[in-house]
Structure 1
Amino acid sequence: MLTIAGSDSGGGAGIQADLKTMLALGVHGMSVVTAVTAQNSLGVHGVWQLPADAVAAQFRAVVDDIGVDAVKVGMLGTAELVAEVARLLARLDPAVPVVVDPVSVSKHGDALLASDALGVLTTELLPRATIVTPNLDEARALTGITVTDVDAMRAAAAKLLASGPAWVLVKGGHLASEQSTDLLTNGPHEVTFSAQRRDNRHTHGTGCTLASAIASHLASGSPVPDAVRAAKLYVTNAIAGGFPLGSGIGPVDHGWNL
């Protein structure tokens, strides 16, 4: 499995979280680094984007020699990189599943996607996605819909589906409710996943981890609903095991099942 994402020097999110998740789920992980961040439990202190040709070279090195069974796309940062990754993914066999986590803001509120990249992401990258996994803030940025309940999640998902992905998973972790409910749909079919909220503030890397877990199960041949269900179980337990690290928000426990 290949992750295309940014590096988190604190080890809780991004490429580092993706590779830990793949290892925990029995998948060989490979990476294309799109950006280097100076990051810790308190926030993002610096971001350095890699040039598009460096991203393309990493992608070609992996795909041309080893091949891929699934791809997870995370932090891209700029409109140029979004367009470049969309072009690279177009070279893959259409049967290769692609999970797009439209990372735009960090856990601490730091912007990770340029405003002019949203349109490119919608028109060029989402049509290549097997599944896109926005949280509520990302859903609002991509659709203009403020999500406050399941009906609004359904409306945002429908608007995202019109951009071309096969499936949309709108994550409800930020809803004000006792349970965390996510909505998965491809239009004709809809599944909701609910889990009791865990009383644990150490949730850094949750979005990256979920997207990577979904892609790991897709790489192993699971259908999308089954992959999401299994990934949710993995992440729910990882959140339960989240631990303090540094002075701020600690990471989830990627190795809880090992």
Structure 2
Amino acid sequence: MITLNDFELESLLCEDVPYGDLTTASLGISDQRASITFSTRERPLVVSCTEEAVRLCGLYGLEIEGFVKSGTLVPPQSIFLEAHGEASHIHRIWKSVQNLLDYTSGITTYTREAVLLARSINPDIVVATTRKSIPFTKKIAIKAVESGGGVAHRLGLSESILIFDYHRIFFPSDEAFAEAFNHAKKANPEKKIVIEVSDIAEALKFARLGADILQLEKFPLTKLADAVQILRADYPHMTLIATGGISTKNIAEYAGTGVDMIVTSSPYNAQPADIKVRINPL
């Protein structure tokens, strides 16, 4: 599973505390001992980035009383991370840790719900997320997705081959594209080639061409189910992906069409968790 290194964690903290904590220092309470707890409120939560939260605490000398691993379902009103140390260090890490846990645990909880809904219909289906994460959050967003049981559809342009219409428009004819496609296949024998299609005619054309995977983009549900049935008849081993406009509201219906994978951006827009924080002097 993805982890953030110390430099990344220090950079996160530096956004909030670039020159120290003026309030805590001015009140003269920096050296007092205190504890800090992070807990759920009225709803259960699947947490993420607790390992990074623990490391942030450790960078400033806080001692950990206990924590749960990323991907753990925490019941309502339950403590899942507790630390103690000097008040100056607790106030320094407080909001950075809370924001990190709020954002990622919201994604993780949403992803877990999406996975459970989809697998209630098709136990073998894979739920994946797109490259459309919020800028500068990719690493923690992908960790959050993985903590919820999802996977990254593509980590970036460098490790996979996915051909869009905006690639194909550069070729003057189907024959010219077919030649380039075959060259790409021979040049990357360890890679599967994905082609995105928008209708069944395109799907059949590129299945005949030799695509390993078809990404069925924004197919209406009934047409998607029909396309899967038609493609399965002649290409039973081809991987079929549904994408476009899929969320927890309709993911079960898409899972029922028979596709192998569902790709969605919706977890990245999940409501952040509302984690409760308590600080008490010791």
What TM-score bracket applies, with the shorter chain setting the length? 0.3 to 0.5
**TM-score, normalised on structure 1?**
0.32
Q: By percentage of residues, which structure has more helix?
A: 2
Q: Whose relative contact order is higher, 1 or 2, with alpha carbons under 8 Å and at least 6 apart?
A: 2
Larger of the two Rg values belongs to structure: 2
